[in-house]
């Protein structure tokens, strides 16, 4: 039986006890303290509209070691046509991610309550967006949650070819400069594997997360003046 969370505490079951689908627990709420506790323990919320909150820790887990990022010549060339910003339109990025059509997925898990919850994390400095612009219009981007030295990627969108990949490339370079350890990409996808992400076991992931989640980094989420010169 899948455990139900106690609404009066922030405790989660051990992620290693997730069922074969990767479900750790259900219920609870999306307050910032619970969300951060979840991410610190390798757990994230993912559920459909009208369903209870479902908490996951997938096995295998997809991560990107920052030195493993693959920047193709074609992507590097494509990046030159865009402009980039951090944390300028966080909610709008989430809304675009919610609306984007995805293969073999009906509807979206990024509901209004999810957007509200992660926007609160953003105001607390714990969630960030990377945005891609073309001629002043937001055409791609991504968002995620920071846990120590780990960037937990949540979702990305693109309305132009390479717009989300370009945002990802900008993110990777800055995370390397800021001494982050890796990106948690959660659920394996061919798109992210093509950029260098790899599958590891849940146990291996949790060990890496444990070493990084309480890391203290001193930096500001500010875009370098000439990001292309450092890619």
pLDDT in tens, 4-37: 998 889 999 999 999 999 999 999 999 999 999 9
Q: Where in the chain do CATH 3.30.70.3550 domains reside?
A: 15-59
Q: Where in the chain do CATH 3.40.630.70 domains reside?
A: 62-230
Q: Which residues of 17-42 are buried (b: 16+ CB within 10 A; e: fewer)?
A: ebeeebbbbbebebeeebbbebbbbb
pLDDT score of 38: 98
- pLDDT, tens only, 128-160: 999 999 999 999 999 999 999 999 999 999 999
E strands, 148-208, in order: 150-158, 182-186, 198-200
User: What is the dotted CATH code of the domain comprising 15-59?
Assistant: 3.30.70.3550
- pLDDT, tens only, 167-217: 999 999 999 999 999 999 999 889 899 999 999 999 999 999 999 988 889
User: Is the domain covering 62-230 a CATH 3.40.50.300 domain?
Assistant: no
Q: Is the pTM of this model over 0.75?
A: yes
């Amino acid at each position: 039986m899948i455990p139900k969370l106690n609404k009066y505490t922030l405790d989660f079951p051990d992620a290693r006890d997730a069922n074969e689908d990767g479900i750790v627990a259900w219920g609870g709420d999306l307050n910032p303290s619970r969300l951060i506790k979840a991410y610190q323990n390798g757990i994230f919320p993912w559920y459909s509209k009208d369903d209870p909150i479902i908490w996951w820790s997938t096995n295998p887990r997809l991560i990107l070691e920052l030195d493993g990022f693959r920047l193709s010549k074609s992507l590097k060339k494509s990046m030159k046509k865009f402009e980039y910003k951090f944390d300028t339109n966080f909610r709008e990025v989430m809304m675009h991610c919610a609306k984007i059509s995805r293969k073999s997925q009906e509807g979206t898990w990024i509901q209004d309550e999810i957007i509200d919850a992660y926007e609160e994390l953003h105001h607390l400095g714990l969630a960030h967006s990377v945005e891609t612009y073309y001629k002043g219009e937001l055409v791609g981007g991504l968002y995620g949650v920071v846990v120590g030295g780990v960037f937990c990627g949540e979702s990305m969108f693109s309305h132009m070819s390479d717009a989300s990949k370009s945002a990802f490339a900008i993110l990777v370079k800055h995370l390397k400069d800021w001494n982050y350890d890796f990106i948690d990409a959660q659920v394996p996808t061919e798109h992210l594997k093509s950029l260098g992400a790899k599958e590891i076991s849940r146990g291996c992931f949790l060990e890496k997360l444990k070493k990084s989640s309480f890391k203290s980094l001193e930096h500001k989420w500010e875009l370098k003046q000439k990001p292309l010169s450092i890619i």
